[in-house]
Amino acid sequence: MNRRSFIQKGALAGSLLTFTSPLLAHALETSWHDTKYSFKLPYAPHIGMFKAHAGDDVVAQLEFMASEGFTAFEDNEMAQRSVAEQERMAAAMKRLKMTMGVFVAHKIYWSEPNLTSGKPEWRAEFLQHIRDSITVAKRVGATWMTVVPGHVDLHLNSAYQTANVVETLKQAAALLEPHKLVMVLEPLNFRNHPGQFLKESPQAFQICKAVASPSCKILYDVYHQQIQEGNLIPNLEACWEEIAYIQVGDNPGRNEPTTGEINYRNLFKYLHEKGYQGVIGMEHGNSQTGKEGERAVIEAYKKVDAF
């Protein structure tokens, strides 16, 4: 609905509220609120993205997302929320018919080689985090959980590091498979996250092939891979059979599409034509503050979804 139509209908509503019954007025208001944009792909905002409109309450934020036409949602911090809040959010997502996207499955080590080292204590800790995340995933109706293997081990040859990571992920996959849950490995760019072991999509592809499990796939974050390797659509195509989840953010700035150099309309058209069935996580900030900034995010997604 454009602004002029909205203003005209608002004026009409004022007249009807004055001269007609409350029941009719309520019906008119409800019909407007139920008018949603129908996105072609399941873009997933995160908590805090629309806080100026919806306030601090997480369920109110979910309700606002749904009212704007978003059918999915992701929350990196879901595992850290209280059980009561997880259950409340799960009930809201079910009521709103929203799909739960990723949450972070474990403690991420930004400066220590937790999975690359092969040390038993770090492997045991990671596997316990996976067990705990299975409980969270089942509680909130999630399918995917983010895994980042951690920092490189400067004392080990890269081939040994890869072998250590693969063995740990095989053990994690064995825990996840009976529940039909999927850990998605996220390569991170060298600029924002220097020293991380997993950096590029071909590397993630190789690891997933070695693990050889439906519970170990790739999270392809377009923002990270634009910086790290570019050549986005050909690399998506090459890794396609191992990609289970996609996140986006424009570059430079890591804000909403249309604020940087990435042609998101063309990229989303490619995903749509490929028949992508997963969630597209809106893993970015807002380029502007307040309600105007939040509205700019929504309008940006409408623009790049118009392919």
Q: What CATH number corresponds to the domain at position 67?
A: 3.20.20.150
Query: Can you tell me the distance from the alpha carbon of 105 to that of 78, in angstroms, rounded to the nearest whole number?
Result: 9
Query: Can you tell me the distance from the alpha carbon of 17 to that of 141, in angstroms, rounded to the nearest whole number?
Result: 41
Residue 201 sits in the same domain as residue 297: yes
Question: In the prediction, which pLDDT does 212 show?
Answer: 98
Question: In the prediction, which pLDDT does 171 show?
Answer: 99
Residue 10 sits in the same domain as residue 96: no
Residue 140 sits in the same domain as residue 54: yes
Residue 21 sits in the same domain as residue 82: no
Residue 43 sits in the same domain as residue 21: no
Q: Strand, helix or coil at 151?
A: strand
Question: In the prediction, which pLDDT does 31 show?
Answer: 41
Question: In the prediction, which pLDDT does 34 show?
Answer: 54
Residue 43 sits in the same domain as residue 31: no
Which residue would you say has higher pLDDT here, 115 or 26?
115
pLDDT for 156-175, tens place per residue? Answer: 999 999 999 999 999 999 99
pTM of the model: 0.88
Residue 20 sits in the same domain as residue 99: no
Residue 23 sits in the same domain as residue 67: no
Expressed as residue numbers, the domain containing 1 is 1-35
E-strand ranges in the chain read 43-44, 72-73, 99-100, 144-147, 182-185, 216-221, 243-248, 280-282
Query: Can you tell me the distance from the alpha carbon of 190 to that of 188, in angstroms, rounded to the nearest whole number?
Result: 7
How much is the mean pLDDT over the chain? 91
Residue 30 sits in the same domain as residue 53: no
Would you call the peptide bond into 214 cis, given omega within 30 degrees of 0 as the criterion? no
Question: In the prediction, which pLDDT does 36 show?
Answer: 85
Question: In the prediction, which pLDDT does 140 show?
Answer: 98
pLDDT for 221-277, tens place per residue? Answer: 999 999 999 999 999 999 999 999 999 999 999 999 999 999 999 999 999 999 999
Q: Dihedrals φ, ψ of 49, to 5°?
A: -65, -35
Confidence of residue 8 (pLDDT cuts 50, 70, 90): very low
Token reading at 213: 């499990």
Query: Can you tell me the distance from the alpha carbon of 172 to that of 132, in angstroms, rounded to the nearest whole number?
Result: 12
Residue 190 sits in the same domain as residue 128: yes
Residue 96 sits in the same domain as residue 2: no
Residue range 14-28: average pLDDT? 39
Residue 172 sits in the same domain as residue 159: yes
Domain count of the fold of the chain: 2
pLDDT for 142-152, tens place per residue? Answer: 999 999 999 99
